[in-house]
A and B are shown apart, each in its own frame.
Chain A
């Protein structure tokens, strides 16, 4: 199974608002790709369309060459694409371990329909992932008792439980303290080194530019630039789209180069 994710000409309107307009992008297999753009540029909508939460008005989504447009969220997950949410979502009244086991694919060792959730293999793997994200000491605590940053880690860990080929992260560093941001970045790099592909929406430029191999810039629902971070960070179109207001405001009193 390869993990190339591609969209072709995705358009989506909510009422009169065009969230996405002929949006085409490619996430190369084995890459960490960043998706940036101002608020309201359509990043989350694109995530929702890719992962089966919304249907596009037109256009198509391909995962590993297979057209998955309009497939249900649960089917998309089964095909090897996991995601996290902008507003971190966990199961607060399940323990961390149980949170992990929701996503675990049923392993073959287990018995009938009413066998205990998670065989020993699933449980061992769940523990390893909790260890990997550094929250295993709370394995039997209810997830609702975790701090915000720990919830981010748990959300990431649960998505990894079923070994997805590609993971879509919606603002993994949002509202997280700097040292934890470093941890999250390190974990993403580790996983990527082992073959997991990532598509990451993030506003923290330092995080994106330091982590991603490729960056795609979205503005008004369209891709305005794509390329390696060092080029993107100096691309005038990007600066205009992303930091436009701030840059425009400075020179305008002078009226020099407007």
Chain B
């Protein structure tokens, strides 16, 4: 078994990234247009409510993924940030006597408060690894729910009602819908930027092997806490918007264990750690859940069915829709390519294809021995 033996086509980059990027961006533009037009076509408030719900969860699941998907630290306590956002807007509107459109001005504050909550939460929970971390996030989640029940400024069990918005019923949902759409789009863009950045690379390195990452100069606490704060910021913002849409906040709706599970389920369903997987999960699962709830007014039945969906996902798509489909397509493509390669020449086919297009770009092509030795010298102590 020689190490330099030519390995299977799985080694090659899947497709041509140039084309793929173009295709992806075109797809996203179309998707955005579809979302933008949706309320105009289906102006029925029930339809726009479905749309709003889906967008809220696209943003929340993608925010969860920025932390949990990229770092591999599964949080089952993101409702802490969602609820903090809800209560921030609720208490702010109540104490500062804000009504109508003015309440929306509290949304940035909801984001900031949730991010601020994430700092102590992260400093405690991120001291431990993996499974223990999951347990700690659940514990912290229940502490927050308990606090919401018992503090006076949260209104206790009776919660806080939102100020009435006197918008026309027919188009009431639309501003909420478009605001959620913008948040979802920005979150996805941010998620994409983070994933390809140095920050995102360090997160994924931590996911793969945290101790090894340390030996290569990665500061795990800094990186993980940074991701948690970004994630909490968006989740809090979304929570604040959700509160005004729903019109009330209670401890059990703000700090809802089902919310935690939903985010994780959407992430797993679409593909943990991929940019668009959790959004896809939200887009599919949230309407399904809403529909189940409407169809089966017995609340438990819909939850049992949702549980069945979860089991099916774990059984058949353990790594999520996007990675599984991606693999299938890559395998199918390389099979097709192998056929065409074997028809022409047996050898030589692998080498040129293995060269990734973005690296044959100007500047990198000059990797000749001369520049290799020249480049290696810089920074070496002498």
Contact = CB atoms under 8 A, between A and B. Distances in A.
Interface of A: 1-3, 51-53, 72-74, 77-78, 80, 82-83, 85, 89-94, 97-98, 101-103, 105-106, 113-118, 120, 123-125, 127-128, 131-132, 134, 137-141, 145, 147, 149-150, 153, 158-159, 161-163, 165, 176-177, 179-180, 194-196
B201 A115 contact: no
Nearest to A72: B214
B345 interface: no
Given A91-B204, A141-B7, A158-B216, 12 more contacts: A3-B381, A53-B215, A74-B219, A102-B202, A102-B205, A102-B213, A117-B196, A127-B359, A137-B11, A140-B12, A161-B216, A194-B376
Top 5 A-B pairs, shortest CB-CB distance = A149-B3, A91-B208, A103-B216, A73-B214, A141-B11
A128 B375 contact: yes
A73 B220 CA distance: 11
A77 B219 CA distance: 11
Contacts of B378: 163
Contacts of A77: 214-217
Interface in B198-214: 198-202, 204-205, 207-209, 211-214
Interface string B166-202: 0000000000000000000000001001101111111
A137 B3 contact: no
A128 B376 contact: yes
B318 to A, nearest CB: 15
A117 B381 contact: no
Most buried by B among A77, A124, A149: A124
A82 B215 contact: yes
Interface residues of B, number: 53
15 contacts: A74-B214, A89-B212, A91-B204, A94-B205, A98-B204, A102-B201, A102-B213, A115-B197, A116-B197, A128-B376, A137-B351, A138-B7, A140-B354, A141-B11, A162-B216
Contacts of A137: 11, 350-351, 354-355
A131 B213 CA distance: 22
A179 B2 contact: yes
B379 to A, nearest CB: 4
B197 A114 contact: yes
B346 interface: no
B207 A98 contact: no
Nearest to A149: B3
A158 B220 CA distance: 18
A128 B370 CA distance: 11
A139 B364 CA distance: 13
Contacts of B380: 163, 165, 194-196
B364 A124 contact: yes
B368 to A, nearest CB: 10
A147 B3 contact: yes
Contact of A153 (B3, B190, B201, B216): B3
A141 B10 contact: yes
B23 interface: no
Interface in B346-375: 350-351, 354-356, 359, 363-364, 367, 371-372, 375
Contacts of A179: 2
A180 B196 CA distance: 33
B212 A85 contact: yes
Most buried by B among A78, A89, A118: A89
A91 B212 contact: yes
Contact of B354 (A102, A115, A138, A145): A138
A116 B220 CA distance: 19
Interface string B1-35: 11110010011110000000000000000000000
B367 A128 contact: yes
Contacts of B209: 89-91
B39 to A, nearest CB: 31
A137 B3 CA distance: 12
A128 B359 CA distance: 12
Contact of A118 (B2, B12, B198, B204): B198
Contacts of B3: 147, 149-150, 153, 176-177, 180
B377 interface: yes
A236 B3 CA distance: 38
Contact of A134 (B1, B4, B193, B213): B4
A18 B10 CA distance: 47
A169 B349 CA distance: 36
Given A80-B381, A138-B11, A165-B381, A177 B1 contact: yes
A235 B321 CA distance: 62
Most buried by A among B7, B201, B216: B216
A159 B217 CA distance: 10
B201 A131 contact: no
A131 B367 contact: yes
Contacts of A116: 196-197
Nearest to B214: A73
A15 to B, nearest CB: 22
Contacts of A78: 217
A161 B378 CA distance: 12
